[in-house]
Structures are given as structure tokens and as C-alpha cells.
Amino acid sequence: MFRGRLRKELHSSVVKNITEPHLYAARNELEHHFYIHRAHVIMLMEKAILTPDETQAILKGISILESKDIFMNKLDVGTDLYMNLETQLIKTIGEVGGKIHIGRSRNDIYATSVRMEVRGQILTTVELLIFLLQAIIDVARNNCQTVMPGYTHWQHAQPVTLAHYLTGITQSFARDLNRLISTYENTNQCPALFSQRYHLNFQLH
């Protein structure tokens, strides 16, 4: 993706401003990459594209890489996480490691791993928002008789209770919660499914 037909090394400015930041930004998605690799390798075995021995070797190599911080090693900052993981895997288990990418491209992996990362962030936000809603409701429940002035156009209006005011706030947060749930449903899709079917059908035919 980064070198293509280039015969020379990438210019230092390209490495500094594009490839190296891209590589280290992907560190947050490393856990997802390992998960995706395992699922893909098992699928290749189920389709009889990899032998059980090859599958076992690759899965073992993935576990070895996962057990250590590959970013502590000297990485090739002229390329991305996709190539660095493949290189590390081949060094660990031999040439069979190169078969891990049969039937897919790096775009499949990144499209899937980004969704997995965003999905996790959405779930974390939803959990925190639910905690906030519960805290507000608890305060409201204890202040059903606490009187305070209502406001309209920044002016004092009729008296209301603090509970009434706070439950109004929860309605706004509840709408946000519904939006996050809808976003999760749209995010919780697997781009690799269609791509794998396409690549495998193309290769097998």
C-alpha cells in the first residue's frame, strides 16, 4: 500500500507524517486484529483452504505474538500494522505464517477493526450514561418535595420541584441513549463477511 512500485525507500517526511503515525495509531486496534486473524484462519480451515496442521501453527504463532508487546520490537515504520504482524508471524513460525492473509486484503481488516474499536467505545459511553441517569433519578427521588423556581427565557416562572427539573434533564439524556443504541446497531456490522466471500469466490474460480 505504501511502497507499490517504488524502487527507493520512502522519503523521511512521508514516514514521519503518514506511515509511522498510521502504524502507531493502530496500536489501539491490535487486540481486534488478533481476534480477526483467529476467526479468519479458522474459517480458512473450515473451507479446507488451510490444513489442520497449518491452522494450528498459525494460531499458535498468533498467541505468541499476542503474549508480548510487538511494539517493543523494531517495527518497519515504512509500512502498516498489517505487514508488521505478518512479518513477525513469519519470523515466529516460518513461511506458513504468510498464509494468514489468504482470501482478504488489509482493507477488510482495518474496516472491521475500526468498527470493533468504535463499538467498544459506544458500549462504554452507554454504560456511563446509564450510571449518570441512575444518579440523577436517585437525586430526583429524594427531592420530590424540594421546591425551586422554574425558568422561562431566563426569567423566574412558576415554582417547580427539583425532582421535576431533574427528570426533565433525564429525558434529554434518554434521547442521547437511544441515539447511541441506534449507532451501535449500525456499527455492529462485519465488513469482512462480504469481502471474504468475494475474495474466496474469485480465487477459487
Asked whether residue 20 is assigned to any structural domain, the reply reads yes
The answer to whether 81 and 113 have CB atoms below 8 angstroms apart is no
Q: Is 66 within the bounds of a domain? A: yes
Average pLDDT over residues 196-202: 52
**Residue-range definition of the domain harbouring residue 21:** 12-102
Kindly indicate the confidence band of residue 190, based on its pLDDT and cuts at 50, 70 and 90.
Answer: confident
Number of independent structural domains in the chain: 2
pLDDT band at 4 (very low <50, low <70, confident <90, very high): low
What confidence tens digit (pLDDT) does each residue in 87-136 have? 999 999 999 999 999 988 888 899 999 999 999 999 999 999 999 999 99
DSSP annotation of 11 reads P
pLDDT in tens, 52-97: 999 999 999 999 999 988 887 777 777 888 888 999 999 999 999 9
**The CATH number of the domain where 58 resides is what?**
1.10.275.10
pTM of the model: 0.76
The domain boundary residue, chosen from 49, 76, 102: 102
Task: Report the C-alpha gap between 182 and 187 in whole angstroms.
Answer: 9
